[in-house]
Structure 1
Amino acid sequence: MSVDADYFANLYTDNDDPWAFRTRWYERRKRDLILACLPRQRYAGIFEPACANGELSASLAERCERLVCQDLDPRAVDLAHARLSGFEHVSVQQARMPDDWPQERFDLIVLSEVGYYLSAQDWLQVIERARDSLTEDGGLLACHYRHPIEGCPQTGPQVQAALADQLGLHQVVLHDEIDFQLAYWARQPRAVDLEETCS
């Protein structure tokens, strides 16, 4: 992570929800859109780095057999542990991107609101590791705020553009709003399994 760890530690001082994931309509609506843009109902393994306090993670946990969550900040990790305590198939780890990338393969990687905290060089390493960690039918979802964030080395549009340029995957979903962009890339050109049945 290119932004200093103290940046996040200060955010969590006396606040267990610094981005108001639980209370802001903007965040709830965005989370619902993320989930709706996932083309598959179920995933074998999901990786979510920068999980923060685990609000999105809890929804992802309901869509998979195994979920690996990471965050740099120890307070965020504790909060995510508590939020996800009811899910036995979820692992929450303290880790720094891109250095502590897991040595596993996943059929979904979710990069939500994280890329602009990394330098362009570190972000390119994340993109490379994400691509290499996907299964043969895997996909990657990324969602980033479009406006500049003070203290961050990149903007959301820069982060999303780098993904589009460097992933080398098929972009099968694109949701573009004035405040954020959400995209899903997949190894296979067809995103939705038309034979999948509801469970």
Structure 2
Amino acid sequence: MISSADYFNSLYDACDDPWGFRNRWYERRKRLLTLALLPREHYRCAFEPGCGNGELSAQLAGRCDHLLAADLNETAVRLAAGRVASASHVRVERRSVPHEWPEGAFDLIVISELAYYLSAPDLERLAERIKASLTPDGTLLACHWRRPFDAAPQSAASVHALFDTRCGLKRVVRYEDADVLLDVWSRDLRSVAEHEGLA
């Protein structure tokens, strides 16, 4: 990451919820949008790098048989582990992506507020990791803040454009407003109604 571990350490040293995940309506709304845009109700095995303090992880847990949540910051890992402690099918690990990418295949990968911190080469590497580890019926969801800020060398638009061209997937849904960009890609292009045999 271009923003060193020290950047995130300083944020968590000041507060255990530096982005207001628990209390801000923007963050709660973003999680609701994230969950609503997933085309399948349930996933077998999901990976959520950059899980922060685990607020989204706790909600993804109800949609997955197995969830691996990970973060670079040790405090975030501890907080996330506490947040999902009652969910035995969720593991929380300290990992720096894309370099410490887990083994195995995932049918859901959620990249939320993470990829714009990466250098251009690491962003390319992240797209390669996603492409290699997503199952044939898998879903990639990316969600990023659209407004520029100093710690992010990439924009939401550039991150999502790279995923669009490098991950070997087709976009199935997009949501955007002045603040946030969410995209969902898959190799399975069936709609929600088609999944349920209604269309």
Question: Under a length normalisation based on structure 2, what TM-score does the superposition of the two structures give?
Answer: 0.95
Give the secondary structure class of the aligned counterpart of 2:27. Answer: helix
More helix by share: 2
Match of 2:178 in 1: 178
Instruction: Provide the alpha-carbon RMSD of the alignment.
Output: 1.3
Q: State the distance in 2 between where 1:75 and 1:123 align.
A: 24
Match of 2:28 in 1: 28
Match of 2:135 in 1: 135
26-35 vs 166-175, greater mean Cα deviation: 166-175
Match of 2:79 in 1: 79
Give the secondary structure class of the aligned counterpart of 1:13. Answer: helix
Q: State the distance in 2 between where 1:193 and 1:87 align.
A: 30
Give the secondary structure class of the aligned counterpart of 1:194. Answer: helix
Identical columns (%): 50
Counterpart check, 1:156 vs 2:194:
no
Q: State the distance in 1 between where 2:140 and 2:191 align.
A: 11
Q: What do the CA deviations read for 1:25-71 (whole angstroms, capped 9, x no partner)? A: 00000100000000111100110000000000000000010000110
Which sections of structure 2, spanning at least 5 residues, go unmatched?
none
Give the secondary structure class of the aligned counterpart of 1:77. Answer: helix
Letter in 2 for 1:133: S
Which sections of structure 1, spanning at least 5 residues, go unmatched?
none
Give the secondary structure class of the aligned counterpart of 2:154. Answer: coil
1:151, distance to aligned residue in structure 2 (A): 2.3
Alignment of 1:95-134 (within 5 A): 95-134=95-134
Q: Is the 8 A contact 2:51 2:70 kept in 1?
A: yes
Question: Under a length normalisation based on structure 1, what TM-score does the superposition of the two structures give?
Answer: 0.95
1:4, distance to aligned residue in structure 2 (A): 0.3
Q: Is the 8 A contact 1:39 1:193 kept in 2?
A: no
